[in-house]
Amino acid sequence: MGKTKIICTMGPASEKPDIIEKMIKSGMDIARLNFSHGSYEQHKKLFHTIRKASNKLNKQIGIMQDLQGPKIRIGKFKPEINKIVLQPGEKFILTTEDSSIAKNRVTVDYKELHRYLAKNDRIFLDDGKIELLVKKVINRNIECEVVVGGELSERKGVIIPGKILPLPVITQQDINDLNFGMKLGVNYVAVSFTRKKENIIKIKNLLGKNNHISIVAKIEDAEGVSNIDGIIDVSDAIMIARGDMGVCLPRAEVPLIQKELIRKCRQAGKPVIVATQMLDSMITNVHPTRAEVNDVANSVLDGADCLMLSAETSVGKYPVETIQEMDSIINTIENSADYKKVLISEEFYPARSEILQGLGNAIDKLSQVGGLKAIICLTKTGNTAKIISQYRPQLPIIAVTVNKQVAMKLILYWGIKVLTGKKVKDVEQNYGIFIRQVRKQRLVNKGDRVIITGGIKEKPFHANIHIVEV
């Protein structure tokens, strides 16, 4: 498996136990539950199915709850209606009334939308795949002409470029969903349409004692990009959600924004996720396009910690094959000379103190010594493993911790494989216990030479680094 992690969105295509097991074996590191779709009962069932598969295969799989956020969406369809096909040139109505779904008429969940639209405004649906032109607004009905058609299903996003709408920072539905996620036991919560740091601070306050849950800020529009420094500062991780971003902002700017946000996250020592339409054609095709392969490859070369699959694994025909394809691309790029040049580029080093920079560099340089097979990191808080990951060493990082919550946090970080070990009184006197556990998982073999480190602290400075034969 590659060092760049793979996040997979779960859904109808990936809810069966045997499929989930195949997804884990193929390289899935984190499962995403999208709370814009599905019922609480469905999410609960899927959560426990993932946990069961993870335990069976003895691989730690993180679970991410993705809150729908203050995003305008198409309303729910009747059970007998799966999708609506929009044709260019035809009339189509968005209504803020509670009315029945018809071939040319759907509801939207933002009941004030009609107040902010006028003739010639453009509306994009489903990450920009469908485009509408407003012709007139009559009462609560927004009458449009279809410019770019396509298939439309329920709960798809609605974007109006250039409009600043008075949407809430956190909706009541988000609060309800978050409370459910905390009870369920999710490891990460993704906050959609994070526009400023106050969005994240409010989520932190709502989490309260559940501060072991990592908060992922989703950057999706110009306001989020402009406030990125403050958002990075208060978040545990950043997701570059390119679907809505490519509609809200000029499409040609998105690759540049992606590179800049990755650079900022790397320097801040925060994991960064690249998401949306990475292998989109594999929703219906068993092979990706060459352009999609390039996109995945460049995201790896940019230095992303994680890549995320959306519809490809939630509703696509080939969820397992898509993961295998992404894993193959990741491994190919990570083993290339160009990628190794990226790893040693100092512009991406985290802006830490000189002590920690020196230590991170030392472990990185040590990892390049011939004959060494892995870095085994013994950590209580996860900080040691995080520091090492941020310097992108060439060797695999195996983090051993007694804290399951810490282990789950570490899955987000580049290159870290996690194991939960037994609690011992004196770590240094009991290296053998952890080494045997690592060998049992076949992460190293008998006779391999490895770096063992742990307990990196700056105040007072403390660090243990050993090279041992296992």
Which residue, chain included where needed, has tokens 């920690």? 356
Mean pLDDT per 10-residue section of the chain, whose length is 470 residues? 94 97 98 95 98 95 94 85 92 88 85 94 92 96 96 90 84 95 98 94 95 96 94 98 88 95 93 96 97 97 96 97 98 90 66 62 71 86 87 88 92 94 60 76 85 67 70
Catalytic residue selected from 218, 270, 373, 392? 218
**Peptide linkage before 460 cis (omega within 30 of 0):** yes
Closest of 115, 58, 1 to residue 438, by C-alpha: 58
Respond yes or no: is residue 73 known to be catalytic. yes
CATH topology of domain 72-159: M1 Pyruvate Kinase; Domain 3 (2.40.33)
Catalytic residue selected from 3, 32, 270, 386? 32
Residue ranges per structural domain of the chain: 5-69+169-336, 72-159, 349-469
Which residue, chain included where needed, has tokens 């008998």? 446
Respond yes or no: is residue 218 known to be catalytic. yes
Q: String of b and e for 62-75 (b: at least 16 CB within 10 Å)?
A: bbbbbbbbbbbbbb
Phi, psi (deg, nearest 5) at residue 33: -100, 110
> Which DSSP category does 102 fall into?
B
Which residue, chain included where needed, has tokens 């607004």? 137
Catalytic residue selected from 3, 5, 71, 73? 73
Phi-psi map region of 303: left, alpha, beta (phi>0 left; psi -120 to 50 alpha): left
Closest of 94, 99, 216 to residue 157, by C-alpha: 94
User: Which pLDDT value is given to residue 187?
Assistant: 98
Q: What CA–CA distance (Å, rounded) separates 9 from 314?
A: 5
Chain centre distance of CA 348: 20
Q: What CA–CA distance (Å, rounded) separates 152 from 246?
A: 19
User: Which pLDDT value is given to residue 340?
Assistant: 77
Respond yes or no: is residue 32 known to be catalytic. yes
Phi-psi map region of 269: left, alpha, beta (phi>0 left; psi -120 to 50 alpha): left
- CA dist 165 → 172, 215, 321, 354 (Å): 17, 25, 40, 45
Q: How many residues does the chain have?
A: 470
Q: What CA–CA distance (Å, rounded) separates 467 from 470?
A: 10
> Which DSSP category does 156 fall into?
-
Beta strands in 129-236 (DSSP E): 130-138, 141-148, 150-152, 157-159, 188-191, 214-219
User: Which pLDDT value is given to residue 149?
Assistant: 96
Phi, psi (deg, nearest 5) at residue 198: -60, -30
User: Which pLDDT value is given to residue 398?
Assistant: 92
Residue 274 · residue 187 · CB < 8 Å: no
Q: Which helix (H) or strand (E) holds 73?
A: strand 72-73
CATH topology of domain 5-69+169-336: TIM Barrel (3.20.20)
Phi, psi (deg, nearest 5) at residue 308: -120, 135
* CATH of the domain spanning 349-469: 3.40.1380.20
> Which DSSP category does 26 fall into?
H
Catalytic residue selected from 49, 96, 276, 313? 276
**Nearest-10 Cα torsion for 170, 171, 173, 174:** -10
**Sequence letter at residue 17:** P
